[in-house]
Amino acid sequence: MSGALPSFCMRKFMPGLSHLSKSGQAEMVDVSAKPSTARMAIAEGRVVMQKMALDAALAGNAKKGDVFAAARIAGIMAAKRAHELIPLCHALPLTKVAVDVVPDSSLPGIKVEAAAKTLGQTGVEMEALTAAAIACLTIYDMLKAIDRSMTIEGIALLQKTGGKSGEYSRSGKPQPEALEGDAGRKSGPRS
């Protein structure tokens, strides 16, 4: 046995899980009675690599093309499809997605920050996290011919606003508004 609780025990021992039926089966939460509110989430991730891979990305010499543009577009596309990848995730009408892809020579590597925004009945944390994860995977794919030892690290929710649970900030302090203009940060060399 794997040590996991049987589904009939899940509700009893973990009563805060809203995605479980009374019998302990996974189900999608009904959000139809919830009011629509402005919601925003920011997630991050990073790809740590050898210096030569970062240098190739910065010089635009990756065999597959512009690493920064591909990762940015992949992250945006992923946010729009999070509900197709995550079984109990609601399909949301996203009003904005911003993905910043920034080189960091101190890693060496590339940092990703993804933000998603909607006016809806449920949050956009999964969309922001999916965007960050897929942007990081795209960076790996674009540079794997140079460095297969790259690692994807630190996929995490940084901030969320809106909804019944209110605001959350990993740092304990609200972040600057991430969805104003071009997310307020500079992306890779060819933005």
Kindly give, in sequence order, each residue whose CB lies less than 8 Å from that of residue 169, ignoring residues fewer than 6 positions away.
Answer: 158, 159, 175
Q: What 8-state DSSP symbol labels residue 20? A: B
The active-site residue out of 104, 141, 147, 182 is 141
For residue 159, what are the β-bridge partners? 42, 169
Residue 72 carries which side chain, given as an amino acid letter? R
Q: Which residues contact 112 (CB under 8 A, 6 or more apart)?
A: 44, 45, 46, 47, 71, 75, 99, 100, 101, 102, 132, 135, 136, 139
104 is catalytic: no
Q: Give the contacts of 141 (CB within 8 A, at least 6 positions apart).
A: 64
Helix, strand, coil percentages for the chain (3-state, nearest 5): 30, 25, 45
Q: Which DSSP letter does residue 185 get? A: S
Give the integer Cα–Cα distance in Å for 150 and 48: 6
Q: Which residues are catalytic?
A: 141
